[in-house]
Amino acid sequence: MHDGQTLFDASRAPYGAEWGVDEHIARLAATAQIHTPIVVGVGNTPLRLREYLPSDLIAALPADMRDDILGIYGGAPLSDGYLRFLVEELKPFIDRSFRTRSGRDDTAIMGSSMGGLISLHALMKRPDVFGAAGCLSTHWPLKIEGLDDAAVLGPWRERLVAAWTGVVRDGLPAAGVHRLYFDRGDETLDAFYAEFQTRIDDTVRTAGWGPDRFRSLVFPGAAHNEASWNQRLDVPLSFLLPPSA
């Protein structure tokens, strides 16, 4: 069997918390709701924040915001090097080791939180390699502290959204070939994502992405954690890995 590939950000799940990817894949494949992938769980490192921080966004920020982010994250983004690792080292190793369908249309990437950011970055920077990206609970604000202070978040959000929308507008591949999935909950960290996500969604739709290729969903009551992502994982998998014709 020639399987597609899903490169999966392992994120930073605590011991005992997991997405249940194997169970979801097995059930969906058994009922022909998806085409069966080889799932590659990519472990994270102590530098994960810098590895998942999109370099194009940092370049687009005003200087004062850029300095703030680099201070929070401990240095310049390493996302381009991380993406090179995925594309030039990890994916070729998987293709050599297994009977894969190695083309773009059979290769997807998905992650949560900061892993959602690097998944979007991968689709935009290497649309020749990745045919689909899933971004769950994408951490658009970048900040960790102060999100519950409206006086702090409001001005920060407006300037950051302006940078984000420009990067997405300029970086998205042309509509009609790739698949892009976003979602969020409305509890814990996800509660701060609504305005960011709405503006990004508008940018994607304005670029011509229709519902057959673009989805952005809200899951009421879902929090920013592995249990919530596990509960809804069937939804992105079914959209990103549709059954072969």
Structural domain includes residue 15? yes
Q: What is the pLDDT of residue 6?
A: 54
Specify if 133 maps to a domain. yes
Q: Tell whether 103 is covered by a domain.
A: yes
Whether the Cβ atoms of residue 9 and residue 118 lie closer than 8 Å to each other: yes
Structure tokens at 97: 């080791």
pTM assigned to the model: 0.92
Average pLDDT over residues 214-218: 98
**Model confidence at 3: pLDDT above 60:** no
In the predicted model, what is the mean pLDDT of residues 84-97? 96
SS3 32: coil
127 domain-assigned:
yes
The mean per-residue pLDDT over the stretch 146-153 comes to 74
Task: Give the confidence band of 11 by pLDDT, cuts at 50, 70, 90.
Answer: very low
**Bridging pattern class, strands 179-184 and 214-218:** parallel
**Is 17 or 16 the better-scoring residue by pLDDT?**
17
Residue 12's pLDDT is what? 47
SS3 of residue 103 by DSSP:
coil
Q: Which residue has the higher pLDDT, 25 or 11?
A: 25
Counting the structural domains of the chain, the total is 1
Residue 42, pLDDT above cutoff 80: yes
From the CB of residue 91, how many other CB atoms can be counted at a distance below 10 Å? Answer: 21
Domain extent for 153: 4-240
Q: How far apart (Å, rounded) are the C-alpha atoms in residues 219 and 244?
A: 28
Tell me the DSSP string of 201-245. HHHHHHTT--TTTEEEEE-TT--SSHHHHHHHTHHHHHHHSPPP-
CATH assignment of the domain containing 39 = 3.40.50.1820
Within-domain flag for 16: yes
Taking residues 213-238, report their average pLDDT.
Answer: 97
Tokens encoding 78: 């390493």
pLDDT of residue 190: 96
Look at residue 7 in the predicted model and tell me its pLDDT. 55
In a domain, 245, yes or no: no
Pairing of strands 4-9, 107-112: parallel
Find out whether 115 and 9 touch, Cβ atoms under 8 Å: yes
